Amino acid sequence: MAIPGVLYFLVFKYIPLTGSVIAFQDYSVFKGFWASDWVGFKHFEKLWAYPGFHRIFWNTIILGGLRLILTFPIPILLALMLNELRIAYLKKSIQTALYIPHFFSWVIIAGITFDLLGYHGLFNQVRGWFGYEPILVMQMEDYFRPVYILTSIWKEAGFGTIIYLAAITGIDPSLYESATMDGASRFAQIRYVTVPLLLPTILTLFLLDIGSFLDLGFDQIYNLLTPMTYRVGDVIDTYVYRTGIQQAQYSFTTAVGLFQSVIGFVLVYVFNRSARRTEGGLW
Amino acid sequence: MVKARHRTFGEKLFGLVNASALCLFALAALLPLIVSVSTSLSSKLAVDTNQVFLWPVQFTFDSWKYIVFRPDLWRSFGLTLASTLIGTALALLVTALLAYPLSKKEFKLGGVIMAAVIVTMIFKAPIVPYFLTVREIGLFNNPLVLVLPHIVSAYCLAIMRTFFKQFPHELEEAAKMDGCGYFRILFRIILPSSTAVLATLGLLYGVVIWNQYQTPLLFLQDQSLFPLQMKIKQFIVDGNELPILAAKAVVNYNERTLRAATVIFAIVPVVLVYPYLQKYFVKGAMLGSVKG
């Protein structure tokens, strides 16, 4: 009964995992994962000496860090605001509008973004009203990071409110009743009842987010990136795809990928353990 | 909620500001879609001269007529639809087949397998050996690659296993007494009463398969095998995909209106099924807090 599932994990997870040994080899397609020539840490040394690697590494860290700090609080605020909205049909419509971008692929989101920020797009139309010249936003380095953050918010912030709204629903109504009896205003109720009771959820999700902050999302970056913005937007995932897969530098980019996997492992492990202590981690 | 107390002026004002701000956010989330819809329904001239804003100008279906008569777009659409339906069904089947034994204490290997599954959640294989492995097993330029890499997610497996663990044992015991094997118990008793969890996880799998981009980018080179997202990407970035628009052309579209129409074309199915799936994805997002 378990065989198909176990086979899946063997083929799609464990063989590639053991295949990571090619980071220590000069991989040859004909010799395979184990029979290629061993070269020790050659590729890792090359990696450290390669200035391009430092750039993509820092791009990865910066984008991950910015996303963590700037996008994390938004679903919490939105959930608190939605919770204060008492008109049921309005609340439901707003939720629908905020949730739906979550279900669009990054190709779609990026396609719309390119159009909006293009030469004739909405952004430049609005600039035109104020007498500014049109600019090519997607081709400008300064705008890549803001665009990355804004598209992340557009796609996921609304959907992220679900878990907080569920946590708010779980709060014992008698707490609000007694707060009202004591004359607490709505603000005071948010401040002294809702927020403190949400804190464990917030903390857990935050720790899980730190744990996965190197997962920038290949689809998102790849679809938003243009050659003009490589300097600020090229990250490990996109670099590995271009050099590793497209130019067949298998061993070197496996070393790059392995480096990322190890850091990712440490982050996920440490922060999941802490998350488990607060409420509940992934395992 | 206690409604006895009168709302103060400050609270009323807050309610108003709050509601307006949320409406504004909702509009901001929809605005890009509205602009795309209007662009796709406007004339070439109106778009070229920046007249289109929130509503179509010089309304025309020309872009849509062009899009709807592109057979390759429908082929990609069909491929994506088929892979999503087949993939989701297969994923639920394989996940259930693994989750069920893992939920049983008497399954001796269960602990080892579950630990091995969790390892894959925290230590991810680099993409290059993954690419080489999947290519080696013959999935390069093979449409099965749209389905097979997605048939088990460790996350969904953990959720389903937890669900099976909570399933009342009495029913299973009774079925066992009547001579039912594990397969019969799973398919006749457990799965029919797990429709809510199946729908929720099916939605998670379905969204992943429908929207997938990285996997087809890695493994599919043959254009006739491109799923919808790859096709859309071609329309957006690759000018050659679009018809060559001579100045004298009598058609009433340009690259921008066609791109907008393609994007909306890909969104329409999602928007259509959205109302039916709403209750399940709310459950799905909440399951995230369930421990595996």
Q: What is the CATH number of the domain that holds A271?
A: 1.10.3720.10
A105 within a domain of the structure (yes/no):
yes
| Cα(A212)–Cα(A156) distance, integer angstroms | 15
What contacts 24+ positions apart, CB below 8 Å, involve B21-29? B21/A81, B22/A78, B22/A81, B22/A82, B22/A85, B22/A94, B23/A90, B23/A94, B25/A78, B25/A94, B25/A98, B26/A93, B26/A94, B26/A97, B26/A98, B27/A97, B29/A97, B29/A98, B29/A100, B29/A101, B29/A154, B29/A158
Of the ranges A140-149, B73-82, B256-265, which one carries the lowest mean pLDDT score?
A: B256-265
HSE on the CB side for A21, CA within 13 Å?
A: 12
- Distance (Å) from the alpha carbon of A231 to chain B's nearest alpha carbon: 20
Q: Using pLDDT thresholds of 50, 70 and 90, give the confidence band for residue B288.
A: low
A41 within a domain of the structure (yes/no):
no
- Chain A residues whose CB is inside 8 A of the B155 CB are 282
Contact predicate B99/B161, CB 8 Å: yes
A121 within a domain of the structure (yes/no):
yes
| Cα(A124)–Cα(A112) distance, integer angstroms | 14
A vs B: CB pairs below 8 A: 272
- Chain A residues whose CB is inside 8 A of the B213 CB are 105-107, 219, 222-223
Q: What is the pLDDT of residue A90?
A: 93
- Distance (Å) from the alpha carbon of B19 to chain A's nearest alpha carbon: 6
Nearest residue in chain A measured CA to CA from B257:
A115
A172 within a domain of the structure (yes/no):
yes
Are A107 and B288 in contact (CB < 8 Å)? no
Are A261 and B123 in contact (CB < 8 Å)? yes
Q: Find out if CATH 3.30.360.10 is the number for domain B70-292.
A: no
A42 within a domain of the structure (yes/no):
no
Which of B84, B127, B159 best probes binding to A when mutated, by most A CB atoms within 10 angstroms?
Answer: B127
Which residues, listed in sequence order, are joined to residue A25 by a DSSP beta bridge?
A: A38
Which of A3, A108, A113, A162 best probes binding to B when mutated, by most B CB atoms within 10 angstroms?
Answer: A108
State the average pLDDT for chain A: 90
Are A265 and B14 in contact (CB < 8 Å)? no
Taking the CA atoms of residue A129, residue A227, residue A53 and residue A18 in that order, the dihedral angle to the nearest 10 degrees is: 120
Of the ranges A44-58, A244-258, B244-258, which one carries the lowest mean pLDDT score?
A: B244-258
Q: What is the pLDDT of residue B130?
A: 95
A2 within a domain of the structure (yes/no):
no
Tell me the ipTM for this assembly: 0.89
Q: Using pLDDT thresholds of 50, 70 and 90, give the confidence band for residue B240.
A: low
Contacts of A171 (CB under 8 A, 6+ apart): A193, A194, A197
Are A112 and B134 in contact (CB < 8 Å)? no
Nearest residue in chain A measured CA to CA from B22:
A94
More confident residue, B274 or B292: B274
Q: Using pLDDT thresholds of 50, 70 and 90, give the confidence band for residue B290.
A: very low
Q: How many domains does chain A have?
A: 1
| pLDDT, mean of residues B134-139 | 94
pLDDT at B248 over 80: no
A174 within a domain of the structure (yes/no):
yes
Q: What is the pLDDT of residue B6?
A: 66
Cα angle B188-B191-B192, degrees, rounded to a multiple of 5: 70
Are A125 and B271 in contact (CB < 8 Å)? no
Q: What is the pLDDT of residue A33?
A: 85
A39 within a domain of the structure (yes/no):
no
Q: What is the pLDDT of residue B239?
A: 63
Of the ranges A161-165, B2-6, B180-184, which one carries the lowest mean pLDDT score?
A: B2-6
Q: Residue A121 is part of which domain span?
A: 51-278
Domain boundaries, chain B: 70-292
Which of B8, B22, B84, B128 best probes binding to A when mutated, by most A CB atoms within 10 angstroms?
Answer: B128
User: Could you tell me the two tokens for B115?
Assistant: 């630990």
Please give the model's pTM, rounded to 2 decimal places: 0.91
Nearest residue in chain B measured CA to CA from A15:
B133
| Cα(B43)–Cα(B35) distance, integer angstroms | 14
Are A241 and B127 in contact (CB < 8 Å)? yes
- Distance (Å) from the alpha carbon of B291 to chain A's nearest alpha carbon: 6
Nearest residue in chain B measured CA to CA from A151:
B29
Contact predicate A275/A281, CB 8 Å: yes
